[in-house]
């Protein structure tokens, strides 16, 4: 394997992080919107949306493997057979993150069906901490002091950003009953733990053996597909039998599904070029981006000085964490 030049990989790192910020922002806003549309009660089944996203992911990743093999179908088949069927033990390892991601993906819909987008996003920031703790304990990653400091800055920044929204609030927020809030919060908190664990586990697999990222993702996607289909059968089996798995799908549903599938791919790229913790910072930036969108496009958000200081802290923390984070350091070297 050729070592990438550090400038090149640094550029890739920030590019994928930027893409992730945009993807997260649009996914959260559109997913929340899709769950609050008042319709004729024919809302789509979220368990089915998770399955659809897995299918799209598998298709895209297979195409990417095909591209890596210069569009030779035979070479692709050979590689996939070798990597997936002939190494059942290696393949089985991916069942763990796939199972957890399936639970997590379903939980996110529960969360966004019960919480407003901002509360959801801010609370989901706790995954940076769970991820850091899992990275330290499972990958043996060492964080230097400026990285710990940046985690603290990040939390402080997120709190400041959240402050005005919490007190001003939107009418929607006030209507939500406490029990919805509780269910939503529990869902996000559990998702934080799952996200941290699954992400670090996948990063470990990715960095341990030199295997194509896309082959890994096909493996992950296949398990994800099996688990999410099981989930759909268990929770919505009857409704699927009655009106089919695509009931209630509309253009917005399809957008959510595609964005989620693409998100999985960007997440994988970020894990490869950067790491899981840095990935979390991208989500923080996305909070700020969605607030700016609310301000400039929707006109329903009044940023205060508090917001601006918080935003500045979050951005500073992101660069502080990434700064001097040598591409060759960390997990890959440990094993």
Q: Which helix (H) or strand (E) holds 3?
A: none
Q: Supply the DSSP symbol for 280.
A: H
Q: Which helix (H) or strand (E) holds 188?
A: helix 178-208
Yes or no: say if 237 and 48 are a contact pair by the CB < 8 Å rule.
Answer: no
End-to-end Cα, the chain, rounded Å: 16
In the complex with ligand C5P, the residue whose CB is nearer, 23 or 162, is 23
| Binding site residues, ligand C5P, CB under 6 A | 57, 101, 105, 195, 199, 202, 217, 220, 263-264, 267-268, 279
Residues 327, 141, 160, CA angle at the centre, nearest 5°? Answer: 90
CA-wise closest residue to 135 among 195, 211, 220, 221: 195
CB of 200 to ligand C5P, least distance (A): 10
Residues 62, 64, 67, CA angle at the centre, nearest 5°? Answer: 115
% helix / strand / coil in the chain, to the nearest 5? Answer: 80, 0, 20
In the complex with ligand C5P, the residue whose CB is nearer, 93 or 301, is 93
Report which residue's Cβ sits closest to ligand C5P. Answer: 264
Show the tokens assigned to 261: 């599938």
In the complex with ligand C5P, the residue whose CB is nearer, 91 or 105, is 105
Show the tokens assigned to 131: 């991820």
In the complex with ligand C5P, the residue whose CB is nearer, 43 or 279, is 279
In the complex with ligand C5P, the residue whose CB is nearer, 123 or 195, is 195
Taking the CB of residue 226, how many other CB atoms lie within 10 A of it?
Answer: 16
CB of 238 to ligand C5P, least distance (A): 26
CB of 196 to ligand C5P, least distance (A): 8
Which residue is listed with tokens 């368990």? 47
CB of 175 to ligand C5P, least distance (A): 27
CB of 101 to ligand C5P, least distance (A): 4
CB of 202 to ligand C5P, least distance (A): 5
In the complex with ligand C5P, the residue whose CB is nearer, 157 or 199, is 199
């Amino acid at each position: 394997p050729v070592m990438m030049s550090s400038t090149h990989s640094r550029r890739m790192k920030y590019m994928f992080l930027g893409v992730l910020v945009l993807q997260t922002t649009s996914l959260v806003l559109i997913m929340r919107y899709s769950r609050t549309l008042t319709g004729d009660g024919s809302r789509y089944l979220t368990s089915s949306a998770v399955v659809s996203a897995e299918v799209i992911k598998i298709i895209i990743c297979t195409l990417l493997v095909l591209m890596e093999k210069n569009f030779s179908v035979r070479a692709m088949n050979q590689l996939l057979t070798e990597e997936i069927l002939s190494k059942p033990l290696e393949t089985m390892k991916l069942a763990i993150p796939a199972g957890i991601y399936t639970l997590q993906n379903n939980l996110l819909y529960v969360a966004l069906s019960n919480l407003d987008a901002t509360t959801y996003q801010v609370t989901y920031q706790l995954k940076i901490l769970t991820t850091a703790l899992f990275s330290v304990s499972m990958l043996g990653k060492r964080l230097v002091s400026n990285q710990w400091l940046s985690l603290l800055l990040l939390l402080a920044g997120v709190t400041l950003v959240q402050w005005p929204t919490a007190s001003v609030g939107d009418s929607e927020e006030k209507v939500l009953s406490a029990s919805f809030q509780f269910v939503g919060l529990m869902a996000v908190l559990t998702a934080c733990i799952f996200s941290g664990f699954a992400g670090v586990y996948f990063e470990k697999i990715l960095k341990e053996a030199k295997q194509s990222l896309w082959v890994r993702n096909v493996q992950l996607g296949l398990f994800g597909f099996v688990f999410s289909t099981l989930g759909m059968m268990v929770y919505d089996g009857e409704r699927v039998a009655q009106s089919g798995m695509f009931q209630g799908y509309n253009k917005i549903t399809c957008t959510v599904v595609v964005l989620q599938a693409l998100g999985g791919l960007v997440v994988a790229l970020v894990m490869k070029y950067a790491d899981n913790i840095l990935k979390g910072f991208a989500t923080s930036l996305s909070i700020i981006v969605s607030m700016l969108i609310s301000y400039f496009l929707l006109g329903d958000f009044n940023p205060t000085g508090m917001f601006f200081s918080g935003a500045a802290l979050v951005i500073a923390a992101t660069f502080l964490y990434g700064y001097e984070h040598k591409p060759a350091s960390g997990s890959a070297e440990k094993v």
